A and B are shown apart, each in its own frame.
Chain A
Amino acid sequence: MNLSLAGRVCIITGSSRGIGAALAESFASEGCHVVINYLKNAEKAEILAQSLQKEYGVDCLAIQADVTKEEDVKRLIDVVAEEFDRIDIVVNNALHGYLFDPSERKWAWEAQWEDYQRQIDGSLKGTYLMCKYAIPHMKNIAFGRIINMTTNLLYRPTVPYHDYNTAKAAVLTYSQNLAADIGRFGITVNCIAPGLVYPTEASRLTKEEVKSAIISETPLGRIARPEDITGTALYLASNWARFVTGQSIIVDGGYTMK
């Protein structure tokens, strides 16, 4: 099986825990060198880096950076390029802390512009900055895989998290435009739109009743676990997806079909 992943250098933002950590492990298990980016959780990130290094024998680096700050992202990319000489894969997974709790969400008329701004900064700006600084390195190897995390709520806002969903929708459009521009350099840009993933920090307050409701409408009959998302990411980064760009793949067990 030639996934063409072994030896590639992969940066995953917000990967000390949750889906990010699962992604980090899956890429490491395929032989990628993994950069684990975190905002606050230094200890968790370091432990994960060490365990992946030990388990899979790849090089892992935990780097603190606030992806919404340009200086931080620039430093992050510089460190990676210095250490590895190349950047093959970027998974934009970080977001500003968001609690997915349908019963506590704001009504449309309650949402403040600050709420939107915060999500736009967390999702769109973070993704934008990472791409801005990673792309020059990808051009240098005429290869790159950018994978941006969005949500299935873009297609079916069962719970209208106004600020969050809007910011993620912007990420999708951003990704498609980016794909159109940099495909010529051999760089692909795709999105993964997961449904509710449990357990993660963000979804820990989601009520059982909500989960039951989702399960009842999910053809595959359960809620996604972090590990359910990783296969799609590996696919998009692999040689199998070499002719796929500007796409969004919904990973929610069939809850949303478009």
Chain B
Amino acid sequence: MKKHLLNISILILLLICQLSIAIVFPSLKLIPDFILIYIVIRAIIFGAKDAMIYGAIGGLLQDVFLAPFIGLFTPVKTAVAFLAALLSGRFFPENLLIPPLGVFMATVVHELLYLLLKENYLFTANYFVLIKEIILPLAALNALITFFVYLVYFLWGRWDLSGQT
């Protein structure tokens, strides 16, 4: 229970960051998806079940700020969390490039799924332009953030281990 409360608090904090970042930096063109980054990293480290729960909660929180409570982010984030969990336990923690790569691909899948489910984008969107101008830069930004976050997580883990021995 304590673990769930902590993780939900982290998700709320990340949502607040996501909502406020454009207020702090008004010229920012792309808003990084902190919730997605958190969910994918959790999926890679802890597996599908854990990530899916927080994927659904993160999606619900994001949907609250887009009018209807249950919107598209809830199913999309849950599905992406499950897909990201396929990477879980298949690489060495020392490999710092896998989590950013996972987030990069998860962002592409996440945004494409969202566009395909969004009625007014489905038939009118120029997917090539959107992928080139929005989705790939956003995926790169999310991947870059993930690299530093995972690096900190990895170094913190090592420091913690060396402290114990």
Chains A and B belong together in one complex: no
- Chain A residues proximal to chain B, CB less than 8 Å: none
- Chain B residues proximal to chain A, CB less than 8 Å: none
